[in-house]
Structure 1
Amino acid sequence: MLRPGGRLLSINMGANHYGPYTIVTAPWFYDFFATNDFADVKIYIQVSKDDGPYNVFAVDPSQIGTGPNDVISNISTNFIQGIYVMAERGLASTDHKTPIQQFYQNTEQRAKLREQSLRFINSKRPDLLFSSTDQFVATRPGYRVS
């Protein structure tokens, strides 16, 4: 997919507005890049009102893999959603491993996810997206307002 040090910027629909063919979720992106040992990943969900204002929620690695129920779930809302991903490939990164949804991971897989989450927590990369207005959508576990 990328050479070591290469970066991917992906912008996707995150809800069933405008008839997307498929919807890949923020948790899937996170698990994919963690499972494949990427050096860094930042994932954001932009939730937009029809008239323009939007909230941005960043996947928060510090809340992932710390306990049996600490998983990222989808943000459910009737507003338009977009998913923004920035991932950086490392020297040991792969792109062929299929992630397992966090709800179904065994103890070893959860420990590996937590190890990767710690790497992502220590990233020096600043946030890339920010909300344009006060929060109008409730935050779910695994996310923080950006």
Structure 2
Amino acid sequence: MHQVRPSLLAAGLTTLATAAALGLAPGAALAAPSPAASAPAISVNWFGVADVHAHTGTVRGRFDCGDERGLAYIEVHLAQRVRGIDVTGFGFGVIGACTDERTAGTWTATVPADAGTFRAGPATTTARLVVEPNSLTETTERLRLLPHCPRP
């Protein structure tokens, strides 16, 4: 007779106990979420702005709250390889709240460089839409930073 590892046996018993507690027969499928439910979404524009003098990068995009409601904000991580050195930074985009009247819109985040400075060229950003208390969606996108041109 084959021996069964104690950890494998414990995992199987835990799964059976959970199924029994939920009233599921072995092999029963859980119901899929309603197709009408809309999940939060976030996107990043293809172009951002590098301000060499301020040591910042500015990133923009769009958000959609879906069916979530609550305090909402954007977390942005920006990374770029500049002259063989990794330049990174972290910033926030404040969008207020996801309400029945406001379910989508645009966001902007200015990200200060931790060390060095962002320059015109390719970069990568990870943007997270957080809708309190428990919703999080993120995307990682490539973008091109353009040079900041001050207005006369």
Q: Which has the higher contact order (CA 8 A, sep 6+)?
A: 1
What is the TM-score of this pair, normalised by structure 2?
0.28
Report which of the two has the higher share of strand: 2
Report which of the two has the higher share of helix: 1
Structure of greater Rg: 2
What is the TM-score of this pair, normalised by structure 1?
0.29
